[in-house]
């Protein structure tokens, strides 16, 4: 099983460019999440989708948009990239959002904004 | 709102020595507790979780953690570490009954194993 697959693995952008980070899971999970990881900051939630057809803001949503395309796929879009968005981005999924389900993570997308 | 504090950003330990990584949390309601491990250039993997019952929980790779409600702590331990345990370790909580936004993470502890 692939689990959670993120593409691309690495990307370099110029300030002002746009791009979409893709995420797909093959575990039939209902809930999906986007996090960013910065040195010394742990993981911070950007957006989440509790179920297909719903999305909500997390702790740090500014500058991002998301789309829950179907049950498997959850994409993250940077409309106008800024150097402050240089980070490692992780997608995760869980069966539900009842609290006790562990989240399963992809290997991350390393994004640099010049 | 809940929060997680990992008291050490970095813990150096000699190979085959014991280790304890500390985690404290704050929440106005009861929580579930998790430890995740992140190896270099990889995503996070679940090490262990506390949901209810026995306060001592065992996880993968010989790790265990003890939930202490009065101290609001969930410290991670291993009696003898190996070079392969070098990684970043994250403590996390989620609300019992669910919160749609899932997990709240600590800032991580980098475990460095010295030969």
Q: Which residue has the tokens 């948009």?
A: A65
Indicate the residue of A58, A97, A102 with minimum beta-carbon distance to B49: A102
CB contacts < 8 Å between A and B, how many?
Answer: 72
**pLDDT per position as a tens digit, A14-73:** 999 999 999 999 999 999 999 999 988 889 999 999 889 899 999 899 999 999 989 999
CA distance B25 to B40: 26
**Counting Cβ atoms within 10 Å, is residue B23 exposed (0-12), middle (13-18) or buried (19+)?**
buried
**pLDDT per position as a tens digit, A101-111:** 788 999 999 99
**Tokens encoding A19:** 């791009």
**pLDDT per position as a tens digit, B53-92:** 889 999 999 999 999 999 999 999 999 999 999 999 999 9
Residues 6+ apart with CB under 8 A from B88: B37, B38, B108, B109, B110, B111
Give the chain A residue nearest B106 (alpha carbons): A42
Chain A: closest CA distance from residue B53 (Å): 14
**pLDDT per position as a tens digit, B48-63:** 999 888 899 999 999 9
- List B residues 36-95 in contact with A (Cβ-Cβ < 8 A): 41-46, 49, 51, 90, 94-95
């Amino acid at each position: 099983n692939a689990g959670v697959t993120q593409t691309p693995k690495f990307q370099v952008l110029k300030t002002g460019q746009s791009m979409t980070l893709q995420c797909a899971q093959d575990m039939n999970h209902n809930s999906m999440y986007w996090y960013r990881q910065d040195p010394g900051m742990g993981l911070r939630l950007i957006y989440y989708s509790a179920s297909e057809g719903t999305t909500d803001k997390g702790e740090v949503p500014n500058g991002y948009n998301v789309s829950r395309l179907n049950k498997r796929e959850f994409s993250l879009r940077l409309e106008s990239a800024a150097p402050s968005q240089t980070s490692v981005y992780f997608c995760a999924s869980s069966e539900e959002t009842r609290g006790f389900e562990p989240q399963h993570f992809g290997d991350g997308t390393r994004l640099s904004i010049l | 709102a809940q929060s997680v504090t990992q008291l050490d950003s970095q813990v150096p330990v000699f190979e085959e020595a014991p280790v304890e990584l500390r985690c404290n949390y704050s929440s106005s309601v009861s929580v579930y507790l998790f430890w995740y491990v992140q190896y270099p250039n990889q995503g996070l993997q679940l090490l262990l979780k506390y949901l209810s019952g026995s306060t001592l929980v065992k996880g993968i790779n010989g790790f265990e953690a003890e939930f202490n409600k009065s101290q609001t702590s969930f410290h991670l331990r291993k009696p003898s570490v190996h070079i392969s345990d070098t990684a970043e370790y994250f403590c996390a909580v989620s609300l019992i009954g669910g919160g749609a936004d899932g997990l709240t993470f600590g800032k991580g502890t980098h475990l460095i194993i010295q030969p």
